[in-house]
């Protein structure tokens, strides 16, 4: 079975099971409040982390380096914000894991090394070719 179809089926089932378990412990109203609270805090923190990622990417570009981690981090933060907006505790846990920089580096650290370009180091000279052109009276306008 396709993993996308399987996840579309299993994620809501897991979320409903967790809703029932938590709702029976703390009550339905408190469960709904907790869902809205995690969504609000998650979106606020996602915005904060997104702005930090943009600042870091700009500093990498100024240094003439490829912001590989920042690109992947930005996409991950957007996905984490989506997970935090969706109602559910399992998606919130996964969203919070993806939104914190420490866990992002642990998850995507080995993939970033593939995108780092070692030849991006600044050289003290400019490579190029040149050609001597003689000044002829015929070539002048």
Range of the domain at 74: 3-117
Is 136 inside a domain boundary?
no
- pLDDT at residue 121, as a whole number: 55
Assess if residue 106 is contained within a domain. Answer: yes
Residue 71 domain-assigned? yes
Does residue 131 sit within a domain?
no
**100 within domain boundaries:** yes
Cut 0.75: pTM above it? no
pLDDT value of position 137: 58
pLDDT band at 42; cut points 50, 70, 90: confident
pLDDT at residue 1 is higher than 70: no
Mean predicted lDDT score pLDDT of the chain: 83
Q: What is the pLDDT of residues 52-93, one digit of tens each?
A: 999 998 998 898 888 888 888 888 899 999 998 888 899 999
Categorize the per-residue pLDDT at 103 as very low, low, confident or very high, splitting at 50, 70 and 90: confident
Q: How confident is the model at residue 135 (pLDDT cuts 50, 70, 90)?
A: low
Is the residue at 139 inside a domain?
no
DSSP secondary structure letters along the chain: --HHHHHHHHHHHHHHHHHHHHHHHH-HHHHHHHHHHHHHHHHHHHHHHHHHHHHHHHHHHHTT---HHHHHHHHHHHHHHHHHHSS-HHHHHHHHHHHSHHHHHHHHHHHHHHH--GGGS--SS-----------TTT--
- Asked, for residue 137, whether it belongs to a domain, the answer is no
Q: Is residue 141 part of a domain?
A: no
Q: What is the pLDDT of residue 101?
A: 85
The total number of structural domains in the chain stands at 1
């Amino acid at each position: 079975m396709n993993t996308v179809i399987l996840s579309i089926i299993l994620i809501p089932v897991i979320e409903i099971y967790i809703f029932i378990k938590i709702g029976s412990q703390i009550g339905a109203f408190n469960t709904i409040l907790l869902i809205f609270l995690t969504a609000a805090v998650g979106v606020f923190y996602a915005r904060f982390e997104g702005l930090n990622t943009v600042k870091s990417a700009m500093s990498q570009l100024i240094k003439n380096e490829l912001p590989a981690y920042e690109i992947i981090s930005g996409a991950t933060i957007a996905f984490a914000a989506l997970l935090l907006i969706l109602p559910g505790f399992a998606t919130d846990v996964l969203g919070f894991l993806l939104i914190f920089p420490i866990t992002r580096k642990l998850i995507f650290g080995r993939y970033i090394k593939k995108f780092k370009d070692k030849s991006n180091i600044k050289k003290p000279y400019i490579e190029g070719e040149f050609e001597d052109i003689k000044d002829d009276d015929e070539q002048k306008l």
